Amino acid sequence: AQSVTQLGSHVSVSEGALVLLRCNYSSSVPPYLFWYVQYPNQGLQLLLKYTSAATLVKGINGFEAEFKKSETSFHLTKPSAHMSDAAEYFCAVGNNQGGKLIFGQGTELSVKP
């Protein structure tokens, strides 16, 4: 069965610092991987997705993620955090047999001034 694990339920960084949110996947077939962001009292919105076209994927708001098959990882990074990046971030894997999206537990990002 496909799954994703997000390491760290809370991450705190200073404004301007590097953001690194970790996601590891489990899949017996090449996975489709996604990162979503959820702002308070909002639904989730797509940041980026990996579809095997390129291992480094660029998304919205300056975020990017790198697919590393050898490490079964798809970590999300941003070079310089902004206060507006404070939100909850979810990694997800897409199931090819039905199309359902399976989410990790989420990582709450705090940005300190």
Partner 1 sequence: DARVTQTPRHKVTEMGQEVTMRCQPILGHNTVFWYRQTMMQGLELLAYFRNRAPLDDSGMPKDRFSAEMPDATLATLKIQPSEPRDSAVYFCASGLVRGLPGNTEAFFGQGTRLTVV
Q: Which residues bind partner 1 (CB under 8 A)?
A: 31-32, 34, 36, 41-46, 49, 51, 90, 93-106
User: At its nearest, how many Å lie between partner 1 and the CB of residue 91?
Assistant: 11
* Cβ distance to partner 1 smaller for residue 98 or 113: 98
- Name beta bridge partners: 94: 32, 101
* Cβ distance to partner 1 smaller for residue 70 or 97: 97
Q: How far apart are CA 40 and CA 20, in angstroms?
A: 20
Q: How far apart are CA 94 and CA 71, in angstroms?
A: 19
Number of Cβ within a 10 Å radius of residue 108? 15
User: At its nearest, how many Å lie between partner 1 and the CB of residue 38?
Assistant: 8
User: At its nearest, how many Å lie between partner 1 and the CB of residue 35?
Assistant: 11
* Cβ distance to partner 1 smaller for residue 19 or 93: 93
| Residue 99 backbone zone (phi > 0: left; psi -120 to 50: alpha; other: beta) | left
